[in-house]
Chains A and B, each alone.
Chain A
Amino acid sequence: QSALTQPASVSGSPGQSITISCTESSSDVDDYDYVSWYQQHPGKAPKLIIYHVTNRPSGVSIRFSGSKSGNTASLTISGLQAEDEADYYCSSFTTTSHWVFGGGTKLTV
């Protein structure tokens, strides 16, 4: 059982905004400051889109943003586009220097 809980699916229409939550349920995920988000299209390797809760790697669209409140991190995608349809995974670096992943969320546009 993952220490990070995500909704199985979310959906939105083109142009809308959606938010995917990632709730930690383990004391191993201390402070929850080291959350990353990955986007995975079918048959492709995951791609890092957010790290350290709010930071975007170079080349990632500004439509992707991250935040955190308490024990829940969130990924928001604004101005939804058809190409955003993918699976999204949150991940966190733990106090024991390991990484854990959420169960993944399927986004339908």
Chain B
Amino acid sequence: QITLNESGPTLVKPTQTVTLTCLFSGFSLSSDEVGVGWIRQPPGKALEWLALIYWDDDKVYSPSLKNRLTIAKATSQNQIVLIMTNMEPVDTATYYCVYRRALLFGEGDVGFDPWGQGILVTVSS
């Protein structure tokens, strides 16, 4: 069974940098074509994909946020982190850690399954 659990500060001040951690179990991020990423959701609003890191350490970022994001893995600890700089009130959201399984032959994408329970990060002075 795959599980993901997000942790980090729940209240940050504007202009601060936040580091969120995703601790996962049930798979290895060393396995071919596996990926783990982050998606956020402001209160009452839609989902927004942020970043994903692949088993081979390749990283992809949302074009609109790439200058503020860093995603990294610590394979031996079954963790990944997301660092987001210059936090502003509009970044207030629930941040979800998500798993993307390895692709089978002929598959181009398989979505994200499962998701962590999410962590609400509030940006306020």
What are the nearest 6 A-B pairs in CB distance? Answer: A36-B111, A93-B109, A34-B109, A48-B113, A51-B111, A99-B49
Smallest beta-carbon distance A10→chain B, Å = 16
Contacts A89-B46, A102-B46 given; indicate if A52 touches B110 (C-beta within 8 A). yes
Determine if A34 and B49 form an interchain contact, defined as CB atoms under 8 angstroms apart: no
Determine if A57 and B109 form an interchain contact, defined as CB atoms under 8 angstroms apart: no
- Chain B residues within 8 Å of chain A by Cβ, number: 22
- Cβ-based interface call for A101 (8 A): yes
- Cβ-based interface call for B117 (8 A): yes
- Chain A residues within 8 Å of chain B by Cβ, number: 26
- Cβ-based interface call for A64 (8 A): no
Smallest beta-carbon distance B65→chain A, Å = 11
Smallest beta-carbon distance B71→chain A, Å = 13
12 contacts between A and B (CB under 8 A): A36-B109, A36-B111, A46-B96, A50-B111, A51-B111, A52-B109, A91-B47, A91-B111, A97-B60, A99-B52, A100-B49, A104-B46
Determine if B108 and A52 form an interchain contact, defined as CB atoms under 8 angstroms apart: yes
Q: Which of B48, B52, B116, B118 contacts A101 (CB 8 A)?
A: B48
- Cβ-based interface call for A41 (8 A): no
Q: Which of A33, A38, A50, A98 contacts B63 (CB 8 A)?
A: A98
- Cβ-based interface call for B115 (8 A): yes
Q: Which B residues lie within 8 Å of A100 (CB)?
A: 49
- Cβ-based interface call for A103 (8 A): yes
Smallest beta-carbon distance B69→chain A, Å = 12
Q: Which A residues lie within 8 Å of B96 (CB)?
A: 45-46
CA A47 to CA B47, docked complex, whole Å: 12
Determine if B115 and A46 form an interchain contact, defined as CB atoms under 8 angstroms apart: yes
Contacts A97-B60, A98-B60 given; indicate if A48 touches B49 (C-beta within 8 A). no
Q: Which B residues lie within 8 Å of A93 (CB)?
A: 108-109
- Cβ-based interface call for A2 (8 A): yes
